[in-house]
Amino acid sequence: MTWKKFYMKRHLSVEELDQKIRGLKQNLKVLKKLLFIKNWYQDESVENSTNLVGVTKATGYNWLKDLK
């Protein structure tokens, strides 16, 4: 099988891409925290809630501590 080299027009610089990636990472953290809280509000345990969003139990307990 032969592979053709794929060329694409660059619309953003590497620095601009890095900036967008940093912003999305922050948004992902907020999304995970909100999903954790929603699961916990729906009577899921901290362990189950953290497993569902892919964070540690310690992180879940820290998030709960922040809510007080």
Contacts of 12 (CB under 8 A, 6+ apart): 20
Q: What is the pLDDT of residue 3?
A: 66
* Predicted local distance difference test score (pLDDT) of residue 68: 81
pLDDT at 1 over 60: no
Q: Which residue has the higher pLDDT, 22 or 5?
A: 22
* DSSP H helical ranges for the chain: 14-41, 46-53, 57-67
Distance CA 26, CA 5 (A): 34
Query: Using one digit for the tens of pLDDT, what is the confidence trace for 6-55?
Result: 777 788 899 999 999 999 999 999 999 999 999 999 999 999 999 999 99
Residues 6+ apart with CB under 8 A from 10: none
